[in-house]
Structure 1
Amino acid sequence: MASSKKYNRFDAYLLKGKFRRSGFENWRYVFTGISKATGEQKTFFIELYYVNPQISPGEAVIAQKTRPKISDSELQYALAGTLAAKEAVEDEKFVPSYVLLKAGFLGENSRLFNCFYPAEKLSFVKSEQSFKLENCFFGKDFLSGKVEVTAEELLKKPELLCSAGSMKWNLHFEKTVESGTLFKSSRNVWIPLGAKTVFAGIVELNGTEYTVVPRSSSGYVSKGWGERPCENFFHISSSNLTSMISGKSLGKSCFCVEGEFEKKLTGFIQIEDRRMILSGKGLFNKYTEIHSCSQMPVDADGEKLHWCVSFHKKKLVIDIDIYCKTSRMLVRNYELPEGGRTLLEICGGGTGFGEIKVFKKVKNNLELLEHASVMDALCDFGSVDGTEGQV
């Protein structure tokens, strides 16, 4: 593809400069697989969260780690009346530093597996143009690896904040619809590198094999980095669109929307040959948007969340409505680079459904250009939560 070389530099990016002491980087891969035994479909995800690597490159420091019982030396501090001061200093210095591998699936009985490694374990293999983390490889067109968390580990380390189980994968992928940087500032960068990505391969979840088939993989790949993740996080994306006008599958279509960046969402929408970029770059690319994520009244289908976005740019209006059952959603946690025992808590699903409408303004009227149903939508909503040292 002509655009692949253009964005290759982002595949090899790793935190630089000041962000190595106070910053994060997040790689995200999402796709669907089908059980060989039952035909059941699951939405899988693999993520890499790299935070403050220069602070403790040789040891994984988890700021959320449960505080141990008071030691003899701390007892002396307490007797001297200075324990509170000592704790304040320790908490100020106690910031995360590690590379975190997240993997799991979204849907009924969602599961998340977390493995923490020292930052120095993540290395670039120049001959293969890929990153290596223990037995995991992240290439520009392939992924392979394994994550396993035992019940015994969780008992000893509740700070892992995940489930017990294992997941193994061997995948190849192609970014069929690519995007450049949608948001860039001195504090944050977000790039949905593979807004529509085709995956193929095998995933083994707790001993059960799932086949990832290109035509139904509904893949998505993105990368972001900066000082800290968005304090109020909003994301929706999908590449499984069907025209409600023609009834045909829109094979070259997809969208992804994310923020809040400076209290605003950015977006990339492609409807067949029409590409719409909502990044606010340049004087002539200004747009307005309104968005919300709200809980719907409980009905026969159970409890659902509703993501609603409306973009207005020059003569275009884009409306997106996505719904997801809360029973099929999972909470993921990310420590902030500054520490302070706070988490970005994101509630996410991979089985969202809804619609997207694209209109053209014609004088005082709106002309409908496309109205498509949306399936297999990735949908996230979250915010920063102070945990006060609790796990």
Structure 2
Amino acid sequence: MTMDKKLTFNVGYGASEPLRDAEAFEMFWHCEGMKTAFEGKVVLNGEEYIVSKEDSYGYADKNWGRDFTSPWVWLASSDLTSKTTGEKLKDSAFVIGGGRPKVGPVAMENKLLGAMWYEGEPFEFNFSKVWTLTKTKFKCKETKHHVVWRVVQETPMSKMCTEIACKKDQMLFINYEAPDGSKRHDHLWNGGNGSGTIKLYRKHLHLNKDGAKPKWEWELVDEIAVAHAGCEYGEYNK
């Protein structure tokens, strides 16, 4: 199997060398392939499956550190379709990750890193770049048959509203062991068939024809249908 990492989300200061050397965070993350095209074959139970770049919605990242975050939230997909035009977004991908990172013993609530690469235009929601004034709200829940993620990320000039669901019978529990040998995540859902919608906005200066003072308003860039989303959610002791 080969992989072609086409789009990258570099979280920047959150995984910079000084913070790595200081082991500032319990968990670090780098997303080298938020859109990755895989090619090759997989043999499972004696049956051969061909993987082609043309219909591969692959992903590749790296986590490292001393422990995992709880809650753990991760969403990613490059199988995106514009609801405005009905066209496939072939140069687009999004990723969201994090939950409750710790800087030393201090936990940071509601901290997700997010990015959308929309047909060549980057939108970033990165709390480690404090000057961007990124705000995040998220809620994850389990229903009888689904796991559901709702995330709203916003800067003064852009906003991304994401809602994804995945069927439980198409998911599994990841067996992650921390470097100290403990296994704290014993209920961490993981799937690759999440689907839903993203609404992407940018701030637009609206000029009034009647001479009233111009004002900033949210302008919908696109409403996007998401398929084949990678998705994870779990909390310790749940």
TM-score w.r.t. the length of structure 1 is 0.51
Hey, what does 1:244 align to over in structure 2? Answer: 83
2:185 aligned to 344, 353, 363, which one?
A: 344
Tell me how far 1:283 sits from its aligned partner.
4.2
1:370 aligns with 2:205: no
- CA deviation vs aligned residue, 1:203-239 (integer Å, no higher than 9, x gap): 0011111111111110000011111111321000000
1:221 aligns with 2:60: yes
Calculate percent identity across the aligned residue pairs. 29
Q: In 2, Cα distance between the equivalents of 1:356 and 1:245?
A: 12
Q: In 2, Cα distance between the equivalents of 1:314 and 1:336?
A: 37
1:311 aligns with 2:153: yes
Tell me how far 1:190 sits from its aligned partner.
0.5
Amino acid at match of 1:172: T
Tell me how far 1:337 sits from its aligned partner.
2.5
- CA deviation vs aligned residue, 1:152-172 (integer Å, no higher than 9, x gap): xxxxxxxxxxxxxxxxxxx01
Tell whether the 8 Å contact from 1:196 to 1:220 is kept in structure 2 after alignment.
yes
Hey, what does 1:323 align to over in structure 2? Answer: 165
Hey, what does 1:100 align to over in structure 2? Answer: none
Tell me how far 1:374 sits from its aligned partner.
0.4
1:193 aligns with 2:28: no
Tell me how far 1:181 sits from its aligned partner.
3.2
1:279 aligns with 2:126: yes
Q: In 1, Cα distance between the equivalents of 2:62 and 2:221?
A: 31
CA distance 1:259–1:281, change in 2 (3 Å): closer
1:290 aligns with 2:137: yes
Hey, what does 1:233 align to over in structure 2? Answer: 72
Q: In 2, Cα distance between the equivalents of 1:207 and 1:266?
A: 40
Tell whether the 8 Å contact from 2:81 to 2:88 is kept in structure 1 after alignment.
yes
Tell whether the 8 Å contact from 1:218 to 1:376 is kept in structure 2 after alignment.
yes
Tell me how far 1:281 sits from its aligned partner.
3.6
1:383 aligns with 2:235: yes
1:212 aligns with 2:64: no
Tell whether the 8 Å contact from 1:342 to 1:384 is kept in structure 2 after alignment.
no
Tell me how far 1:382 sits from its aligned partner.
1.1
What is the CA RMSD across the aligned residues, in angstroms? 1.8
Hey, what does 2:8 align to over in structure 1? Answer: 178
Q: In 1, Cα distance between the equivalents of 2:227 and 2:9?
A: 21
Tell whether the 8 Å contact from 2:127 to 2:135 is kept in structure 1 after alignment.
no
1:253 aligns with 2:92: yes
Instruction: Give the secondary structure class of the aligned counterpart of 1:284.
Output: helix
Larger Rg: 1
After alignment, is 312-321 or 271-280 more displaced?
271-280
Instruction: Give the secondary structure class of the aligned counterpart of 1:343.
Output: coil
* Residues 67-216 of structure 1 aligned to structure 2 (within 5 Å): 171-181=1-11, 183-184=14-15, 185=19, 186-187=24-25, 188-216=27-55
- CA deviation vs aligned residue, 1:292-345 (integer Å, no higher than 9, x gap): 11134x5xxxx1121111011012111011011111110012122334x54323
TM-score w.r.t. the length of structure 2 is 0.82
Hey, what does 1:353 align to over in structure 2? Answer: 195
Tell me how far 1:364 sits from its aligned partner.
5.7
2:174 aligned to 316, 332, 348, which one?
A: 332
Amino acid at match of 2:48: E
Report the number of matched residues. Answer: 210
Q: In 1, Cα distance between the equivalents of 2:202 and 2:115?
A: 17
Q: In 1, Cα distance between the equivalents of 2:52 and 2:130?
A: 42
Instruction: Note the residue ranges of structure 1 that are not aligned, 5 or more in a row.
Output: 1-170, 387-391
CA distance 1:342–1:223, change in 2 (3 Å): closer
1:266 aligned to 107, 113, 116, which one?
A: 113
Tell whether the 8 Å contact from 2:116 to 2:123 is kept in structure 1 after alignment.
yes
Hey, what does 2:207 align to over in structure 1? Answer: none
After alignment, is 234-243 or 259-268 more displaced?
259-268
Tell whether the 8 Å contact from 2:125 to 2:154 is kept in structure 1 after alignment.
no
- CA deviation vs aligned residue, 1:216-271 (integer Å, no higher than 9, x gap): 11000001111111132100000000000011100010001001123311012111
Amino acid at match of 2:117: Q
Instruction: Note the residue ranges of structure 2 that are not aligned, 5 or more in a row.
Output: 102-107, 205-214
